[in-house]
Structure 1
């Protein structure tokens, strides 16, 4: 009899996640996580979905009831007992440091760009610069360093590095050779005594973004607010993207810096991840900014918006350089790990040189 009760209890526990899918709200992605969308058996354009069962399996695996609670509990056990991360995209380092697994090739100097691709990338950026300058705009290109490139001391020792050039090291001399207006944030951050990236996030802190802002504006030789010298307050309110991926129901927060700004959004953004944002600042010393950015622009763009009367902040790729007007300032920011995207999504500039 006791075995029947045990079997019934075991089956009931197994059914709880499935039952949870029927009564609980749909699971939301945590951090940089990408959840499988609900599959469709029939598509008006392609007909019957031959992969439906496989898609359904992936969907259930990403959306079963109490998934985030169970994932968090499992991650807590593995990180504390085994000092390893069960999340595919998160590397668990020493002292609780987390790193984005998609930066591992760069860290180990497994260049994702060949020499010819690195040269082609620099030439592509130079063509974008020429295009913008032909329209009477200033142009600046910058690469945001991967966290592991600046702070490798907490990476697990099992990840060995090769004595070779990574993608950034391959691209840099070609940028110089092509005469690209480039702001080298690697040198600026490496020269700074303080840690300017979050411990449980893949991005720079607001203090780091302020340093990047000041260096970009100094490189452009434009008037600006020196945020590295500005006052700020601190609050423990930042939830790291890597922490959310590893512990989706975790509550740990990191300290972040809060600066005072007075720019306004034309339309309030839903989040910092919006494809397009526009800002205005009546008292700014400069005209219009076109900032082509990735997720590192989440913390960077508020500082830049403070210096321009109008700012267009976009994640669109290919970069919408056809919007460039005379007198604009164009800044292209891309993180180190995404450098190949410039070749993958290079803009079609054609032969146009006039607005």
Structure 2
């Protein structure tokens, strides 16, 4: 066999050996260096579990692939490296996150919401869906009113609408109002106070930051403004003038969007803005904050039924009441409501993020059943 033939045969073997080394190398190295590597789960989700026999033969390959993708050696390091490469060329390769102007990040249509389509005006509630929610809202309000309680619905606007000036130019707005904007108007015709403070937050955002740059949620300033608008709508004392704001280097801003696309190591220029205002005092914090109580300087009692936007809202809103109970949607079962709020309070506020508005009908029905049984 000639030297040339041996080279030709050796080349494929070298390629195979190299490919095998690339596959096996990280797995062999990982046990030795894992303790020195960052393995934190930065994403706001539970990572996939290893498939079991109960998974089933047909679903096993896909489940294993999902597990491997979530637990591969050096996963965080590779995600960070890829994200850094994307930033160098001014792009963001992500199925969940949209890169806007000046580095601002927004949420795309994902499994549990249609943020981008909602922003563009491509979604709408049907007349039947709107009527069903209006009927459920009226039914809950009637039960509460009969027991001397007031009801208010607060829709927390999505960041895409509040900071539309940072949305990419290739994401056009097709129609307005958004489906939640139209829904809020229709529900307001029931006589129940319904807030969707998109314009107020848009105006405020021109002078100060009211949402996090790399997160989907409003910051302390946005939550404070929403709380004052809610108190005003309830005919309760509220602050009309903005408090002073200052950067607090001891606290880190939220970054759920950066975490979704592996950019947590690069998105470090946002600021946590602290307000020179006094929030209510938290007196109970259970189930990771999904069940909480606050003592404020106002009068009367409040039940705040919330989602993730309500965590920042709660201390500012609760300051307008003497006693406040706060329950996350994950705790919104009739028996849980009865356990933590056995008596109907003076005020009930139902906070629903714009992108989670599909949850409203179920929340209204659950709260009606609770209100009928509560004292």
* Shorter-chain TM-score tier: 0.7 to 0.9
**Deviation digits for residues 182-223 of structure 1, max 9, x if unmatched?**
223123223333242222211112111111111111111223
Match of 2:74 in 1: 66
CA contact under 8 A between 2:92 and 2:99: conserved in structure 1?
Answer: yes
Tell me the distance in 2 between the aligned counterparts of 1:217 and 1:262: 14
Match of 1:278 in 2: 293
- The correspondence of residues 112-191 of structure 1 with structure 2, limited to 5 A, is 112-163=124-175, 165-191=177-203
Are 2:326 and 1:313 equivalent residues in the alignment?
Answer: yes
CA contact under 8 A between 2:99 and 2:168: conserved in structure 1?
Answer: yes
Tell me the distance in 1 between the aligned counterparts of 2:357 and 2:203: 23
Tell me the distance in 2 between the aligned counterparts of 1:118 and 1:136: 27
Are 2:319 and 1:302 equivalent residues in the alignment?
Answer: no
Are 2:100 and 1:93 equivalent residues in the alignment?
Answer: yes
* Structure whose CA Rg is larger: 2
Tell me the distance in 2 between the aligned counterparts of 1:111 and 1:341: 16
Task: Call closer, same or farther: CA 1:140–1:344 in 2, change over 3 Å.
Answer: closer
Q: Which moved more, 1:308-317 or 1:136-145?
A: 308-317
Match of 2:258 in 1: 243
**Deviation digits for residues 5-46 of structure 1, max 9, x if unmatched?**
776555333224444775747955424345323332238xxx
Match of 2:20 in 1: 11
CA contact under 8 A between 1:105 and 1:112: conserved in structure 2?
Answer: no
Per the TM alignment, residue 90 of structure 1 is displaced from its structure 2 partner at its CA by 0.5
Task: Call closer, same or farther: CA 1:20–1:105 in 2, change over 3 Å.
Answer: farther
TM-score relative to the length of structure 1: 0.84
Count of residue correspondences: 345
Structure 2 unaligned blocks of 5 or more: 1-6, 110-114
Task: Call closer, same or farther: CA 1:15–1:28 in 2, change over 3 Å.
Answer: same
RMSD in angstroms over aligned alpha carbons?
Answer: 3.1
Kindly indicate which of the two structures has a greater share of residues assigned to helix.
2
Per the TM alignment, residue 278 of structure 1 is displaced from its structure 2 partner at its CA by 2.0
Structure 1 unaligned blocks of 5 or more: none
Task: Call closer, same or farther: CA 1:123–1:253 in 2, change over 3 Å.
Answer: farther
Match of 1:325 in 2: 343
TM-score relative to the length of structure 2: 0.80
Task: Call closer, same or farther: CA 1:308–1:164 in 2, change over 3 Å.
Answer: closer
Are 2:112 and 1:77 equivalent residues in the alignment?
Answer: no
Task: Call closer, same or farther: CA 1:15–1:130 in 2, change over 3 Å.
Answer: farther
CA contact under 8 A between 2:155 and 2:353: conserved in structure 1?
Answer: yes
CA contact under 8 A between 1:319 and 1:347: conserved in structure 2?
Answer: no
Which one of the candidate residues 45, 50, 57 is aligned to 2:65? 57
Match of 1:256 in 2: 272
CA contact under 8 A between 1:72 and 1:248: conserved in structure 2?
Answer: yes
